[in-house]
Structure 1
Amino acid sequence: MNRRTRRAATVRCATPAVLAIAGVLTVLIGCDAVRPPRRETATPTAPAPTAPTRSAAASPAPHSPAVAVGSSAHSMTVDGRNRTFRLYRPATLPMSAPVPLVVMLHGALGSARQAETAYGWNTAADRHEFVVAYPNGLDRFWAVSAGCCGPPAHDGVDDVTFISATVAAISAKLPVDPDRTYVAGMSNGGMLAYRLACETTTFAAIGVVAGKQLGQCPSPTPTSVIHIHGTADNLVPYDGRPGKLNNSGFGPFPIKIDGGPVPDQIDRWREVARCAAPEVRTAGAATTSAARCPAGRDVELITIAGAGHQWPGAPQSTAERLLGLDPPATELAATESIWRFFSTHPREG
């Protein structure tokens, strides 16, 4: 694999350069008109944490919180690269006991700021009292496999180590509960969430929207899964066909999304977890298939008939409106659905 560092030109949401590349990328990004997160603070560059990566998060920090209330920016060095993430700490969140942490991974060509403004996780954190982290992928992509996605995959970036280091860094500053540490992801970010469940013991549950598992995962850690997908998604197709932007993983911007139909992947997770037969219920266009598994581990698939590549329940972005693209599905709010699942699935044992 070519590990030369290549720096792609910065891509900004809803600019002519992006629109010239492909209008459909706006749906993949989930671009939103950037609204300044409230109470912005900055954190100086810090060295990478010494806690081991690819393992469970560090125990809650016993000292006073070292992160300001509100939204803050952070950076550290991982594998010789400067890596960054945003962190949101609700003003009313008590720090006298361990607190839940949700890591939200943006989609391809997205960013930490875009994910923070587009999907409503800060509002959910205020309401339900947890902390949210928004890591930044290099060149706005996540490396999930040799063929996906973008320059990080081409250059052999280790994003599993970066996300593990992010959790460790946050846990060193806030009293994070390792049994209530979760990861959610949109599209390319959802693919990385699956890889994190396969290769680390950090997360009690993962939430995936319009993503897929790439590669084999014969013995995942005891992780609960909630997956939300639209049947009309043409970028990460529900039925397993190659996506509209698929280039078989070649070139400096490789995009190879395979792995078969989404229901088949969910069935494999249920088989490994020794789940019971799923209970199926339908409400309008949304069908939920929920399987209960031993040790409190569950695997749930929510299918939205006719929905495309989107984060259900999110507001439609300015770029999407300008391009005349379909607005996000309203059958459910993905953020609330994922948090509801996370909140009832801490790690057991």
Structure 2
Amino acid sequence: MLHPVVSSTPALLALALTLTGCQGRGVDCHRRPPTAGDEAVCRVPAWRDRDYILRLPASYDPGQRYPLIVALHGGGGDKEGANPLTCEDGDEASPHCLSQVAEREGYIIAYPDGTANSLGFRTWNQGGTADGALQCPYACEQGIDDIAYFKALLDDIEAVASVDPRRIYATGFSNGGGMSHRLACELSDRLAAVAPVSGANQFAGAADCAPARPVPILAIHGRDDPCWPYDGGEGTCLSVQEGNYVAVEPSMIGSADAPGWALRNGCDPAPIVAPIADNADDGTSATLTSFAGCTAGTALIAVDGAGHTWPGGDQYLAVDKIGAVSRDFSASEQIVAFFTDQTLP
């Protein structure tokens, strides 16, 4: 669930073991389809070792269609660890967990697996450059076609469960957040909206991001993130140098020569900044940046004092290593509320 990690150092191996859950082996969910309230581990045809967890709400009725959230783990994580990261103290009974919020609002949710390297660290091909100018995780180095994987994943989910094809969304943390940016760039015909957390548009730093339509986006990022720095540049976690990352605000606003999401979505580039209620005495505070005149909703929540973490989620490593978790708001609730207002044309 952390930022992209491809290393055999003992410190990073310990980190991966901290963030990685037990590996579930997938079944053919076409033959054994899940039912209301089920959590199943399903295979993706032709994609060995890249199963996904599928959770159906307790209210699920196969005669109706349901919105779908695809939630992407961070680099070094896996499908089992993606939801606990969003939960306070990693407790999946917490009402602010992404799965709990999605369940309450009647969403189907899927947690897929990225590509594993020889140590079992899983990453997504979010984009990057092999020369080191932009950090390029294992899946990027190997040229894994994650767009093809996601098409196959969505096809499989839609065959197994009753999904509303106009209400499919992606979110993710760190490398998974970066991948959700790429999906918005290249899979805008399938996704109604995206919401990356602690990950900016690395893909656009290395390639042309040219979605077929304006894509609604809500980005959430800590200003004191040591792993994916808010202002871009070299990220460090556990005192390990890990490469250069694109900055958050240029990903969201940009310029005529290098447009971000506000310009792609036809917004007035002048930001409208408003504070978010400071509900916890935790040393963090957040602001919401939005834009006028957009053809698709475009917003950024920047959290002063917060690190490489999911607001309202788990402090999965010490503050001196990854920064603090903000308790002022729940990223899960903000994301699901944002998705609820977005539908494919």
TM-score with structure 1 length normalisation? Answer: 0.76
CA shift for structure 1 position 314:
0.5
SS of corresponding position for 2:43: strand
Alignment of 1:137-148 (within 5 A): 137-139=114-116, 140-145=122-127, 146-147=129-130, 148=135
Name which of structure 1's ranges 333-342 and 279-288 shifts more when overlaid on structure 2.
279-288
Q: What residue number does 2:93 align with? A: none
Q: 2 CA distance for matches of 1:324 and 1:274?
A: 38
1:169-225 deviation digits (Å, cap 9, x = unpaired): 111122211211000010000111111111112111100111011233442232101
Deviation at 1:265, TM superposition (A): 1.5
Change (3 A) 1:210 1:171: same
Match of 2:286 in 1: 286
1:80-229 maps to which residues of 2 (within 5 A)?
Answer: 81-119=48-86, 120-139=97-116, 140-145=122-127, 146-147=129-130, 148-200=135-187, 201-214=189-202, 215-220=206-211, 221-229=213-221
**How many residues are paired up?**
299
Displacement after TM superposition at 1:155 (Å): 1.8
Q: 1:44 to 1:243 in 2, by over 3 A?
A: same
The 1:155–1:255 alpha-carbon spacing in structure 2 relative to 1, beyond 3 Å, is: farther
Q: Equivalent of 2:44, from 71, 76, 91?
A: 76
Structure 2: 5+ residue stretches without partners? 2-6, 87-96, 117-121, 254-259, 279-284
**Separation in 1, partners of 2:71, 2:224:** 24
Cα distance 1:143–1:303, how it changes in 2: closer, same or farther (>3 A)?
same
% identity of equivalent residues = 27
Alpha-carbon distance between aligned partners in 2 of 1:192 and 1:42, rounded to the nearest angstrom: 23
2:78 maps to a residue whose letter is S
CA shift, 1:239, in A, is 0.7
Structure 1 residues 327-342: aligned runs within 5 Å: 327-342=324-339
Q: Distance in 1 between matches of 2:322 and 2:186?
A: 36
Out of 10, 35, 45, which is 1:20 matched to?
10
Shift of residue 161, structure 1, vs aligned partner: 1.2
**8 Å contact from structure 2 (residues 235, 242) kept in 1:** no
- Distance in 2 between residues matched to 1:312 and 1:323, nearest whole Å: 17
In structure 2, the partner of 1:3 is none
Q: Is the 8 A contact 1:43 1:75 kept in 2?
A: yes
Residue pair 2:20, 2:77 contacting (<8 A) in 1 also: no
Give the letter for the 2:275 counterpart: T
Q: 1:164–1:289: structure 2 CA closer, same or farther, 3 Å change rule? A: same
Structure 1 118/19 Cα, relative in aligned 2: closer, same or farther at 3 Å? farther
Instruction: Confirm or deny: 8 A CA contact 1:73 1:87 kept in the other structure.
Output: yes
Deviation at 1:300, TM superposition (A): 0.3
Tell me the distance in 2 between the aligned counterparts of 1:322 and 1:238. Answer: 17
Shift of residue 290 of structure 1? 1.4
Cα distance in 2 for residues equivalent to 1:158 and 1:66: 27
Distance in 1 separating the partners of 2:160 and 2:194: 23
- The residue that corresponds to 2:310 in the other structure is 311
SS in 2 for 1:242: strand
Q: 1:292 to 1:92 in 2, by over 3 A?
A: farther
Structure 1: any 5+ residue segments left out of the alignment? Answer: 1-10, 12-16, 48-64, 246-253
Q: Which residue identity does 1:104 align to in structure 2? A: A
Partner of 2:257: none
Q: Is the 8 A contact 1:116 1:122 kept in 2?
A: yes
RMSD of aligned residue pairs (Cα, Å):
3.3
Partner Cα separation in structure 2 for residue 110 and residue 102 of structure 1? 18
Shift of 1:95: 3.3
**1:40-74, CA deviations, whole angstroms, 9 ceiling, x for partnerless residues?**
99633879xxxxxxxxxxxxxxxxx9323321101
Distance 1:309 1:323, change over 3 A: closer
Q: TM-score, normalised by structure 2?
A: 0.77
Tell me if structure 2 keeps the 8 A contact 1:71–1:86: yes
Report matched runs for 1:254-273 at 5 Å: 256-259=243-246, 261-267=247-253, 268-273=260-265
C-alpha distance in 2, partners of 1:114/1:330?
Answer: 20
Range with bigger deviation, 106-115 or 306-315:
306-315
* Shift in Å, 1:159: 1.2
